[in-house]
Structure 1
């Protein structure tokens, strides 16, 4: 398919996805059309699909109803359009302050093109003012000009959509742990430790000055040796070896994938010595979360937009941006050895990338970048 395309996802069954033609509608005043240059396909996107329908994450919209990730790029009753992070170039503009050729980093639908509505346009970018998006978290609605991205370097271009949102989530989790006194834990167990969010968390914890808990990456047996060699965590063990850990050590658990069996194993082993159990994503979309009747603490969700908004309110946007940029540039010194770029081109390849990620076939040591 050579013309404009999009990928429609069944809101009730995310395994059903189809490549469809996407004719270009005329622009209304204030709108702009962009062509996507590149975007990343990661496990994070599967989490977006899992929580596509209203799930209590975002709170009420202007009509008092709940919202989900499908609300960013599709009206209710339409097939879902999966959000992705990437770069795009303006091809047509009816918005003041934005011209054809301008390039932006931000949140786009899984498609070759998109129509956005510019609000608060300025030298640094704009905020999408599409009515259904105005009650959704601001962090997803801001589009930044490439020239003003703090911490951006051309050499890191492909790693921005692959790692930046996930690294930021990991960094924010590490920030919350420090803010909460590590929940009293002496060690932090991080499941799906080869995932990009987990690596961001492990890296951020390792950079902390002063005393901190030991980090233990949990992964499948096949990935233990390679992950340990990356030296992101203090230790790396297989899921099957959780029972070999000292059950009397005060511990915290961060679950990146919603894997019920691993969650049950950790809670059952540490019981009351488990001081916090945090679930971040749900890339294991078809797995039982295993939340019922677990010993130990009640599980708590982590929501990156909420945490970032708290820090921006407390520190100010400029200080928040500087702290993230400093951490990001340090991470970019090691990112190329952690993941190679797996480039996919065109609509059929984009659909294949989504299916690979959904089925768990994607190589965790690769970052999939789709060029529509």
Structure 2
């Protein structure tokens, strides 16, 4: 029996393992079986913003990718899948694709624009959602895919891309005129992607990873940041040096500490994720700059318009392959199998108990 994880749209702590009946395909649809997908803090951000939150510029949220209104939420995940049944021209049984799937054993997708590189899902509710989430890429067409990196793709690829895009925005904005970039939740995989991308630049601000005291030594040993400082030591940082904050997890207490300490010397405060979904936002009356959100799909679309898709793809490929050369020492792959393990992994990530030095990979 196929399975899926159903999540209460109003209370993301309420999740159940459900049987997922097999329905007949309509013309133009394919059924895929998920080979593997990652469970990361990024997925918790998807759950928090599952309902309409203004991110997409419309009244849709992340729940709208894989469930109709009124149905339980199906959490989006990144992974690989194999076509097991096809009613669509240009896509055959056995074809394998990297892309965005529901947290389930199987999924039905509606094929549009099939080609050598893959296809676009054109399910009606998805057509007004960001294109980057609707593209399914054939493994054979991924220019920067290496078999040795296979398990790291679901774990790191979307998060590294987000980190790389943040680093690109800093460079594009002249680093906001700062001399130090503070990266909160520095052990998160998106933060590591940002730190790595910044480190490739010869002329850049100092990078300071902010993390819990228990993570300082391990994170320092990775060599991603110039310095690693625990949250309770924020007040020891030089408040007279212009700084920027990148908040990866939405922890209000950390944000307030940084804003209060740096005041007018804080030149930018960028919010990326909300994996600390249960933390008080505590953003009212903060000294320093207004907090600005970062939305990776929007930044991607800007750069594709600026450079063209080919140049954009080349830049990502070069950065990704360089990162893959060091990724195995940054996180060990933690493989888990089946629906019960998938539900447990979601609950573990939601509770904040997951080990940041591991990449959870589910094989349905």
TM-score (norm 1): 0.97
Distance in structure 2 (CA, Å) of the matches to 1:349 and 1:341: 15
Partner SS, residue 201 of structure 1: helix
Tell me if 1:322 matches 2:314: yes
Query: Which 4+ runs in 1 deviate beyond 2 A?
Result: none
Partner SS, residue 274 of structure 2: coil
Tell me if 1:182 matches 2:175: yes
Partner of 2:92: 99
Q: Deviations over 1:289-324 (max 9, x none)?
A: 221110000000000000000001111111101100
Distance in structure 2 (CA, Å) of the matches to 1:150 and 1:238: 39
Partner of 1:73: 66
How many Å apart are 1:59 and its aligned residue? 1.3
Tell me if 1:290 matches 2:282: yes
Distance in structure 1 (CA, Å) of the matches to 2:25 and 2:333: 35
Tell me if 1:122 matches 2:115: yes
User: For residues 296-335 of structure 1, what are the structure 2 equivalents within 5 Å?
Assistant: 296-335=288-327
TM-score (norm 2): 1.00
Distance in structure 2 (CA, Å) of the matches to 1:213 and 1:150: 32
Partner of 2:198: 205
Match of 1:137 among 130, 138, 144: 130
Match of 2:257 among 247, 265, 275: 265
Match of 1:14 among 8, 12, 15: 12
Number of matched pairs: 364
How many Å apart are 1:150 and its aligned residue? 2.2
Distance in structure 2 (CA, Å) of the matches to 1:327 and 1:369: 23
Distance in structure 2 (CA, Å) of the matches to 1:59 and 1:115: 26
Structure 1 unaligned residues grouped into runs of 5+: 61-65
Distance in structure 2 (CA, Å) of the matches to 1:150 and 1:299: 37
Partner SS, residue 80 of structure 1: coil
Partner of 2:243: 251
Q: Deviations over 1:330-352 (max 9, x none)?
A: 00011000000010100000000
Partner of 1:110: 103
Partner SS, residue 311 of structure 1: helix
Partner of 2:154: 161
Partner of 1:341: 333
Distance in structure 2 (CA, Å) of the matches to 1:366 and 1:226: 12
Match of 1:277 among 251, 269, 282: 269
Distance in structure 1 (CA, Å) of the matches to 2:171 and 2:281: 26
Partner SS, residue 114 of structure 2: strand
Q: Deviations over 1:236-262 (max 9, x none)?
A: 010000000111000000000000110
Distance in structure 2 (CA, Å) of the matches to 1:59 and 1:230: 38
Q: Deviations over 1:88-124 (max 9, x none)?
A: 0000000000000000000000000000000000000
Distance in structure 1 (CA, Å) of the matches to 2:279 and 2:23: 39
Distance in structure 1 (CA, Å) of the matches to 2:282 and 2:101: 33
Partner SS, residue 282 of structure 2: coil
Partner of 1:63: none
Distance in structure 2 (CA, Å) of the matches to 1:9 and 1:183: 40
